[in-house]
Chain A
Amino acid sequence: AQKITQTQPGMFVQEKEAVTLDCTYDTSDQSYGLFWYKQPSSGEMIFLIYQGSYDEQNATEGRYSLNFQKARKSANLVISASQLGDSAMYFCAMREGLFFNGGSQGNLIFGKGTKLSVKP
């Protein structure tokens, strides 16, 4: 079974509007972390935002927020006020087996990604 599922291969959004990129995950661990990365055409993976399974508040980083619904095992990324530079591939990832303090030693498991295109 897929550990990370991103059901949207491609998304379009108008500049300055908000967009939600979907991510669902599958784990039996109680402690895990969820990540979103951006990969522009240059190829580098850029960290955007992190949510720990024990965090009660949804994570926010500037224009990025993570809509964490633990019971539904979803971790959707919301980008507000889209910019042309947001056009890129976006990957959701999970690390299982976090320590309670957030420390971790495991590898990241990635989804297949969503290609976001921002229209002017």
Chain B
Amino acid sequence: GAGVSQTPSNKVTEKGKYVELRCDPISGHTALYWYRQSLGQGPEFLIYFQGTGAADDSGLPNDRFFAVRPEGSVSTLKIQRTERGDSAVYLCASSLLGTGGEAFFGQGTRLTVV
């Protein structure tokens, strides 16, 4: 597809379970970002990839959160031992390295932990 694709669009999970959220960026975009957006708030930065490596993971809230991008395209955000406070919309964005930085966002995954 032409845009950033995120799957699933909705995920309901029980407290304590493990979840994976997938992001397929725009083809050729080397930079990939994960954000979390709680109700009524702006997106909050989690992690940024440049190619396969995490260039900045300072936004990950704790060690239950982990993300990978093994081949430099698709990325997976992994959350272990989910808590109710993890409920939010998880947004993925991608951009070209060396541009002014316009980031293109996906539709997001709405995660609900019950």
Determine if A44 and B107 form an interchain contact, defined as CB atoms under 8 angstroms apart: yes
Nearest residue (CB) in B for A103 is B98
In the assembly, what is the distance between CA of A106 and CA of B103, in Å?
Answer: 11
Determine if B103 and A108 form an interchain contact, defined as CB atoms under 8 angstroms apart: yes
Determine if A102 and B99 form an interchain contact, defined as CB atoms under 8 angstroms apart: yes
In the assembly, what is the distance between CA of A98 and CA of B107, in Å?
Answer: 27
Stretch from A62-70, A71-79, A109-117 at the B interface: A109-117
Stretch from B11-19, B42-50, B64-72, B76-84 at the A interface: B42-50
Q: How many residues of A contact B (CB 8 A)?
A: 30
Determine if A45 and B91 form an interchain contact, defined as CB atoms under 8 angstroms apart: yes
With A33-B100, A35-B101, A44-B106 already in contact, the answer to whether A105 and B50 are too (CB < 8 A) is yes
In the assembly, what is the distance between CA of A56 and CA of B17, in Å?
Answer: 51
- A residues 82-118 near B (Cβ < 8 Å) are 91, 93, 95, 98-99, 101-113
With A33-B100, A102-B101 already in contact, the answer to whether A108 and B45 are too (CB < 8 A) is yes
**What residues on B are CB-neighbors of A112 within 8 Å?**
40-42
**What residues on B are CB-neighbors of A108 within 8 Å?**
33, 35, 43, 45, 93, 101, 103
Determine if A110 and B108 form an interchain contact, defined as CB atoms under 8 angstroms apart: no
Nearest residue (CB) in A for B50 is A105
**What residues on A are CB-neighbors of B45 within 8 Å?**
107-109
Determine if A105 and B31 form an interchain contact, defined as CB atoms under 8 angstroms apart: yes
Q: Determine how close the nearest CB of chain B comes to the CB of A72; give it in whole angstroms.
A: 21
Chain A CB within 10 Å, residue with most, of B33, B59, B105: B105
**What residues on A are CB-neighbors of B93 within 8 Å?**
45, 108
Interface residues of B (CB under 8 A from A): 31, 33, 35, 40-45, 48, 50, 55-56, 59, 89, 91, 93, 97-108, 110
Interface residues of A (CB under 8 A from B): 4, 33, 35, 37, 42-47, 50, 52, 91, 93, 95, 98-99, 101-113
CB pairs A–B below 8 angstroms (20 shown): A33-B101, A35-B102, A43-B108, A44-B105, A44-B108, A46-B105, A47-B102, A47-B104, A93-B42, A95-B101, A98-B100, A102-B100, A103-B98, A107-B33, A107-B45, A107-B48, A108-B43, A108-B45, A112-B41, A112-B42
